[in-house]
Amino acid sequence: MTRIYPETPAGPFDPPPAVFTDAENRQIEIQTYDDGSIEPFVTMYLAFEPADRAQGIPPTNEPRIREWLEQILIDESVNVYATYDGGVIGHATLVPDGNDAYELAIFVLRAYQQSGIGTRLIYCLLGAGQARGVERVWLSVERWNAAARALYRNVGFEPTDADGFEFEMSLRLSATQ
Amino acid sequence: MRILVGIDQSDRVAPVLSGACQRLSDGDSITVAVVAPTDEASMDELEMAVSDYVDANELGATVTTLSGHPGSELVELAERKGFDRLVIDGGRRSPLGKIQLAALTEFVLLNATMTVTLIR
């Protein structure tokens, strides 16, 4: 499948680490994941609100969560995560799609949503992606999810396929070499 | 029960047909309709792959081809011939694991009047 990407690169974006105070006055830290333990992520996804799942992810039970994380928290992917009080409360990832582009997704625990953490996570993720030389990023979002679509659009994503159940958007992170 | 299986992808012939057959009861009959392929295979190649699978596994299924818009042709055939159930591929997963509904899946789900089974 040929996906269209914007001609002009978005950003530049700053990679992690980042520390900031969210809208609820919580001190949030964002870091890049490399080669650490997956356990803090398992804990986060076990606490994930099932109603906040989209398009079948994250999975709902522990074995499937572990299996899924083992496919995502790999060297080839770019992962950043947000912590509060020592626990992981948000995670954003770029997973290679096998066609020189990366699929993006972001997850924030319900108690930490709508406080600016998601936006910061995406900026940090794209910064980490830029630092790693990622050129093209795409995502799909459920058609009804206007809030998510607006957030992605603000970051620089443009719609590519509006025909299906899912709404696809893409972004260029750096000019093609 | 009379079952119509729609096939639109050469690499999904075996999973979809074996999935459809696992759910058969005595007296059920299967018809396989080959529709315009969504991958690089030609219609003839896809029909050949389906016929080979049907013969090799002794499914005793009738194989037919449908030209034109895959979803509407499939639903129209199922209604006209009074099939009880339509079986199609349930879509794939993105690199991240998100479920992606193919155009055929989406059309059949929204437009079929009979029970639809998605094979994953």
Interface test with chain A among B92, B93, B98, by most A beta carbons within 10 Å: B98
Tokens for A128, please give them. Answer: 């980490």
Q: What is the ipTM of this complex?
A: 0.83
Enumerate domains of chain A plus CATH numbers.
18-172 (3.40.630.30)
| B99 vs A contacts (CB less than 8 Å) | 55-56
CA dihedral A59, A61, A64, A66 (to 10 degrees): 100
Cβ neighbors of A65 (< 8 A, separation 6 or more) are A42, A45, A46, A58, A59
Q: What is the pLDDT of residue A1?
A: 56
Report pLDDT digits (tens) over A104-159: 999 999 999 999 999 999 999 999 999 999 999 999 998 888 888 888 999 999 99
| Local structure of A146: helix, strand or coil | helix
Q: Report yes or no: B66 and B73 within 8 Å, Cβ to Cβ.
A: yes
Distance between alpha carbon B50 and the CA centroid of its chain, in Å?
A: 10
| Local structure of A172: helix, strand or coil | strand
Residue window 34-93, chain B: list those with CB within 8 Å of chain A: 93
| Local structure of A65: helix, strand or coil | helix
Report pLDDT digits (tens) over A61-90: 999 999 999 999 999 999 999 999 999 999
Cβ neighbors of B24 (< 8 A, separation 6 or more) are B3, B30
Q: What is the DSSP string of A91-121?
A: EEEEEE-SSS-EEEEEEE-GGGTTSSHHHHH
**pLDDT tens series, chain B, 120 aa:** 999 999 999 889 999 999 999 878 888 999 999 999 888 889 999 999 999 999 999 998 999 999 999 999 999 999 999 999 999 998 788 999 998 888 889 899 999 999 999 998
Enumerate domains of chain B plus CATH numbers.
2-119 (3.40.50.620)
Report pLDDT digits (tens) over A39-64: 999 999 999 999 999 888 999 999 99
